[in-house]
């Protein structure tokens, strides 16, 4: 029996449940890629926009504040509306604004876009937790959440390795940090 057949069997043999797990794992991986992209690009952003490390911290703070305010709203909506569509909407908002961050011409545009990305990022965790709770029996949820957490951290590792190295090197005729925001946002969409 192949690894995928074992996983499929373990998850109860339901294609929908297997697909749900794979989509949730992928979304959480990309979510963490986006969460770590600022720190991975900190030097390049600081140099390009001529800002201090404190200003880079403001990007984190702004996104976190917006996300904290919006997460309960997305959680409430996931009780009312179809979670798949909410997840797609959140990912679209987050991915689009992250791509646009790569086009930012000044610091205030970048700050605004990072805050806006927090609106979409806020959707991810409450909706994924809801999907997992609905899709898996309680005896398997801890293991499923462990796998999703590992996928999320793997996304952060990928982001740090990729964006840190690419941020200071021109790629396809553009600044590397612009390329990393564009590709990360594209993955989110």
pLDDT in tens, 67-125: 999 999 999 999 999 988 999 999 999 999 999 999 999 999 999 999 999 999 999 98
Instruction: Give the pLDDT confidence of 121-168 residue by residue, as tens digits.
Output: 999 989 998 888 888 888 888 888 899 999 999 999 998 998 888 888
Question: Can you read off the two tokens belonging to residue 113?
Answer: 């876009």
Contact 159, 32 (CB under 8 A): yes
- Of the candidates 41, 74, 75, the one whose C-alpha atom is nearest the C-alpha of residue 171 is 41
What is d(CA 25, CA 12) in angstroms, rounded to the nearest whole number? 18
154 or 19, higher pLDDT: 154
Looking at the DSSP bridge assignments, the partners of residue 171 are 174
Q: How confident is the model at residue 17 (pLDDT cuts 50, 70, 90)?
A: confident
Does 3 score more than 80 pLDDT? no
Exposed, middle or buried: residue 111 (CB in 10 Å: 0-12, 13-18, 19+)?
A: buried
Contact 33, 87 (CB under 8 A): no
140 or 51, higher pLDDT: 51
Does 4 score more than 50 pLDDT? no
- Of the candidates 168, 167, 185, the one whose C-alpha atom is nearest the C-alpha of residue 97 is 185
So what's the pLDDT on residue 9?
Answer: 53
So what's the pLDDT on residue 2?
Answer: 53
7-11, 27-31, 32-36, 61-65: which range is least confident on average? 7-11
- Of the candidates 185, 28, 163, the one whose C-alpha atom is nearest the C-alpha of residue 96 is 185
What is d(CA 22, CA 28) in angstroms, rounded to the nearest whole number? 10
187 or 7, higher pLDDT: 187
Residue 160 to residues 76, 113, 186, Cα–Cα distance (Å)? 33, 21, 17
Average pLDDT value for residue range 22-36: 89
Residue 13 to residues 8, 26, 145, Cα–Cα distance (Å)? 5, 20, 19
What is d(CA 66, CA 119) in angstroms, rounded to the nearest whole number? 6
What is d(CA 112, CA 59) in angstroms, rounded to the nearest whole number? 9
């Amino acid at each position: 029996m192949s690894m995928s057949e074992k996983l499929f069997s373990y998850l109860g043999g339901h294609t929908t449940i297997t697909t749900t797990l794979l989509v949730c794992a992928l979304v959480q991986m990309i979510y963490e890629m986006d969460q770590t992209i600022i720190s991975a690009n900190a030097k390049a952003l600081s140099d390009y926009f001529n800002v201090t490390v404190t200003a880079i911290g403001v990007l984190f703070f702004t996104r976190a504040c917006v996300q904290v305010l919006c997460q309960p709203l997305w959680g409430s909506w996931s009780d009312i509306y179809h979670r798949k569509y909410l997840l797609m909407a959140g990912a679209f908002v987050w991915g689009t604004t992250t791509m646009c961050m790569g086009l930012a011409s000044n610091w205030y545009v970048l700050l605004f876009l990072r805050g806006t990305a927090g609106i979409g990022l806020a959707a991810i965790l409450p909706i994924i937790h809801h999907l997992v709770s609905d899709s898996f029996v309680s005896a398997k949820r801890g293991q499923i959440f462990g796998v999703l957490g590992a996928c999320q951290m793997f996304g952060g590792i990928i982001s740090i390795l990729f964006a840190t190295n690419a941020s200071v090197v021109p790629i396809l005729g553009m600044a590397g940090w612009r390329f990393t925001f564009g590709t990360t946002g594209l993955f989110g969409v």
